[in-house]
A and B are shown apart, each in its own frame.
Chain A
Amino acid sequence: MELLRNWFQAAILVLTNASWSFPFTRSLYQGPLKVLCSPGLNCYSCPAATVACPIGALQQLLLSIRMTLANGQFYIGFYIIGSMGFLGAIFGRMVCGWACPFGFMQELLHKIPSPKFGVPRPLRFVKYALLALTVVILPLVVINDFGMGLPWFCKFICPAGTLEAGLPMLFLQPDLRQIIGTLFWSKFTILVAFLVWSVLASRPFCRTTCPLGAWYALFKKAKMVRLTLDEAKCVHCQECHTVCPMGVKFDESPDDGECITCLRCLNQSCRFGAIGLEVGGLPVQAGDIRIKKTPRP
C-alpha cells in the first residue's frame, strides 16, 4: 500500500507539473487547465505547473476584492473555497498524504539517512494562525493607496513557491537575477531551513506551516474517508505511534487533525485489527487480525 501511495504521489506530481515546454518557451503554461485548483500545495508560477494553487489563487482574489467589487465583479473566492471544501469534506488531510507534491518531496528528503527528530506538538497550531492571518486577514485588511493588498503567505513565507517558481524563473530568465534582494534571500533561507528540517524530521512544513493542510485539518471530524479505531480490539501497544509520519498517537486521538490517512498504521503496525478504513460510514478495509486481544489480568 505504501508503494501504491508513493506511485500515486509521483503521478500527481507529474500531472500537476506536466508542462515541460518551458525550457523552450521560458515562460508559464497558459492553457485552460490552469482554471482547476491543485489538490495540494503546488505553486502556479512554477513554469511546469498545469493547475492553479488554491492558496495562491485565494489570496489573489482576496487582495483585489475592493477593486473587483467596485467594478461590479463578485470575485469573493467562492469558486476556490468550494473546490477546497469539496476535497476537504471527502478526503480531509488524505490529500496531504496522497496528492501534495510538496509533501511528497518532504517524504523523499526524510529518507536520507541522518539522525531523526520529532516536531514539537504545539507548533502544529502555527499553521492555523498562518491560514487565518497570512491567507485571509492580512491580504484583506492591509491595503495600499489603490486598495490592493499583498499575498502575504506567497510573498513572505511559501517555500514551495521559492523552490518551484522563484529558482526556476531565475534560471530561465537570467535578467531577473539583477533584481533579487532581501525578500528573495529571506525566502530562500526559509526554503533551505525546511529542506534541512525535512531530512531531520518527518513532514515539518505540513505539520507546522502549511495553510492548506490547516484547512483540510478542519474536516477531521467531518470527512467521508477516515480511519477508525475499534477500542475493543486496541491494546494500546503504541505501535501505531512509531510508524506515523505526522506524529499522531492514533489510539489516543483517532480524529486527530494531523492524520493524513497514509494508512501506514493500518497496514504496517496494528497486529490486533483495531484500525479500519471507512468511506461515508461504511467500512471498506478492516485491519488484519494477526494477534487477538487477550483480557488483561
Chain B
Amino acid sequence: MAKELPQIPGNKLPLILISFFIVLFCIGVFTDEPSRVLEQSWQICLSCIGIG
C-alpha cells in the first residue's frame, strides 16, 4: 500500500518557497547574472519594442 506524503501546513509552504527562491536568487548573483541583466537593460532592443 502506497504511503501518503506528509502534508505541509498551509502557512509553512510560503516560507519554504521564499527560502527556495532566495537560494535561486543568490545562485543567480553568484553566477554574475545581475551584470548581464544590467548590460541588457542599458540597450534598446528595437525589434523587441516593435521597431525594425
Contacts and interface: CB of A to CB of B under 8 A. Distances in A.
Interface of A: 27-28, 30, 32, 34-35, 37, 43-45, 52, 56-57, 60-61, 68, 73-86, 88-90, 150-151, 154-155, 161-162, 165-166, 169-170, 176, 179-181, 183-184, 186-188, 219, 221-224, 280-281
Contacts of A45: 44-45, 48-49
A222 B13 contact: yes
Chain B interface size, as a band, is 35 or more
A81 B10 contact: no
Secondary structure of the A contact surface, majority rule: helix
21 contacts: A28-B42, A32-B38, A34-B41, A35-B35, A35-B37, A60-B40, A73-B31, A78-B25, A78-B27, A79-B25, A79-B33, A81-B21, A81-B24, A85-B17, A85-B24, A162-B49, A179-B52, A180-B51, A219-B17, A222-B10, A224-B15
Contacts of B36: 61, 68, 73, 75
Contact of B24 (A56, A78, A169, A170): A78
B4 interface: no
A82 B44 contact: no
Given A155-B48, A176-B46, A224 B37 contact: no
B21 A86 contact: yes
Contacts of B38: 32, 34-35, 52
Nearest to A176: B51
Nearest to B36: A75
Interface of B: 9-11, 13-15, 17-18, 20-29, 31-38, 40-52
